[in-house]
Amino acid sequence: MMAWATSAAEISSESVQYLIRDEIDKFPNFSGKEADPRSLSDMRTNAYPETKKILDLSTPTDESGLIGKAVETEADELRHYYAVCPICGEAQLMEFERFAWPKAVMEPREIVRKRLASYQCCACGMLWNDYMRDQAVRLGHWHAEVSVDRPRCVAFHLPSWYSPFVSLSSVVAAHLRGLEDPAKKMVFVTQHEAKVWKETITPQKESKILEHRCSLPALTVPKAAVALTCGIDCQKFGFWFVVRAWAEDLTSWLIQYGFLATFDDVEALLFNTSYRVECSDDSMEIWRAAMDTGGGDTDSGEWTRTEEIYMWLREKGRGRIFGTKGASHSQLQRVRATVIDKLPHSSKPIPGGLELRLVDAAAFKELLHWRLERGAPILDDQGNRIGEKKESQRFFLHAETEEDYASQILAEELCRDKKGRKFWKRVRKSNHLLDAECLAAACADSSWLPSLRMLAEWMKQEAKPAVYATRPSVEVARSRWMEHSR
């Protein structure tokens, strides 16, 4: 018999001796107006108190998921699968730390295409390819962490790399993608490691944020920067803004932040302001800007704030500044385009008309906090700092950043409601610079086309020979790209 978790009638229709529930972490909290589907289906086995068998299957999600709670609170035993090395016969728990691949190759596509990953036996050091991995798994067995006499409930943990359908190289590729994106990191943890995803965002202090200050003064662009983006958060009176420089690996530097009073000031920032590049005579302008189109009344009472912004964008946008709106739900792409100006009968976009970008603000806030953790310090045995991790997507502030900036960045905290759903809660009144930072990051995101990495590739092609040549040739490439984008 088949049933689905959203129908209390189907779940409660008949008694069963054997109950199999698939992907229980995706079950809804309630089946219609009744209890949760797991508890309802448990009742269907009451007629077989001594012979019933219940099997729950699922890839884990986050800490609110059913499978993680069941393993922690209900299982008498937790069993892991031990593979047996086909060379030396050593039984071992396969852990990701023993995966091996050429460390000079960090491109996931190349690792998958050339099958570069292998697994190293913990005893003899033999490197297993996919075929030897399959042999080792066939020779293996289950083993409990702590054995219990006559267990009634047993949990089994099985990462994806035990499967003959999953290449070792695809596992490494998923790990490398997770190093560049927290959303892909969650995919690796839940789908490959088969572990519960635990949030790492913790409340910080202003002093911790200000530790990200570097030696560059305000209004100065680092040499590694490819482009500048700007995020503008609109208020009833005025605009909060952030200008941020981006390297090709999405490492970024705060260049300027502050408050603008009028649309004329915004226009001057976007079209008449350039920033000096460090240690050179070159300068850079803002490549792309995003403006929040939030509503609200105005003093005139004729137009709403949103209507004012729309009219200004139609007149002054010039392919450099774009209107944005917060997405009401999480979306597959962090930035998604939608058309505002359409023809009345066909609903086709009006050529040159206004477009909006729907921005997943919650995803960008998580991404910002994740970037704040990049480049963590490396400590020696005595706890002294001896360096820092060489990671991409690091987050820097200019040397003159003050505590008011840090206070607004920490104006919201990640919380959960009674149903376990995540949401961002405002804990301080002013969060404008946090919103502006998210918009500046959205401008550099790969889901906003053309992306910053596409710009970097364009610049490499324009700079002859194929290495980054001198700054002037890069500037020519950037100006050509901006003309092309318009």
Q: Does residue 7 contact residue 32 with C-beta atoms inside 8 Å?
A: yes
**What residue spans of 261-304 are helical by DSSP H?**
263-272
Q: pLDDT tens, 233-273? A: 999 889 999 999 999 999 999 999 999 999 999 999 999 99
Q: Is the pLDDT of residue 476 over 80?
A: no
- Whether the link from the prior residue into 60 is cis, omega within 30° of 0, is no
Q: Does residue 127 contact residue 99 with C-beta atoms inside 8 Å?
A: no
Cα angle 287, 376, 253 (rounded to 5 degrees) comes to 20
CA 244/CA 250 separation, integer angstroms = 11
Length of the chain (residues): 486
pLDDT value of residue 471 = 43
Helix (H, G, I), strand (E, B) or coil at 349: strand
- Say whether pTM exceeds 0.75: yes
Identify the residue whose tokens are 């906090």.
369
Residue type, 103: K
Report CA Rg, the chain: 27
Q: Of 270-274, 349-353, 388-392, 477-481, which gets the smallest average pLDDT?
A: 477-481
Q: pLDDT tens, 90-136? A: 999 999 999 999 988 889 999 999 999 999 999 999 999 999 999 99
The tokens of 339 are what?
């058309």
CA 85/CA 133 separation, integer angstroms = 8
Quote the percentage of the chain above a pLDDT of 90.
Answer: 66
pLDDT value of residue 316 = 86
What's CA 13's distance to the chain center, in Å?
42
Q: pLDDT tens, 442-472? A: 999 999 988 998 898 888 887 654 433 344 4
Identify the residue whose tokens are 């001198």.
470
pLDDT value of residue 321 = 95
Taking domain 206-375+390-445, whether its CATH number is 3.30.460.10 is answered by no
pLDDT value of residue 146 = 93
Q: Does residue 147 contact residue 108 with C-beta atoms inside 8 Å?
A: no
Identify the residue whose tokens are 């490959």.
192
Q: pLDDT tens, 306-326? A: 999 999 999 988 789 999 999
Q: Does residue 195 contact residue 96 with C-beta atoms inside 8 Å?
A: no
The tokens of 30 are what?
């309630």
CA 290/CA 231 separation, integer angstroms = 5
Q: Does residue 15 contact residue 46 with C-beta atoms inside 8 Å?
A: yes
**Helix or strand holding residue 412 (H, E):** strand 412-416
Helix (H, G, I), strand (E, B) or coil at 362: helix
- Find, among 224, 227, 213, 233, the residue nearest to 274 by Cα: 227
Cα dist from 156 to 192, 251, 272, whole Å: 15, 40, 63
**Helix or strand holding residue 408 (H, E):** helix 403-409
Q: Does residue 220 contact residue 275 with C-beta atoms inside 8 Å?
A: yes
Query: CA 180, 186, 189, 192 torsion: positive or negative?
Result: negative
Q: pLDDT tens, 57-92? A: 999 998 888 999 999 999 999 999 999 999 999 999
The overall average pLDDT reported for the chain is 89
Q: pLDDT tens, 405-444? A: 999 999 998 887 766 678 899 999 899 999 999 999 999 9
Q: pLDDT tens, 32-59? A: 777 889 988 999 999 999 999 999 999 9
What's CA 416's distance to the chain center, in Å?
18
pLDDT value of residue 483 = 59
Q: Does residue 225 contact residue 213 with C-beta atoms inside 8 Å?
A: no
How is residue 344 annotated by DSSP? T
pLDDT class for 332, splitting at 50, 70, 90?
Answer: confident
Helix (H, G, I), strand (E, B) or coil at 160: helix
CA 486/CA 441 separation, integer angstroms = 20
pLDDT class for 395, splitting at 50, 70, 90?
Answer: very high
pLDDT value of residue 469 = 37
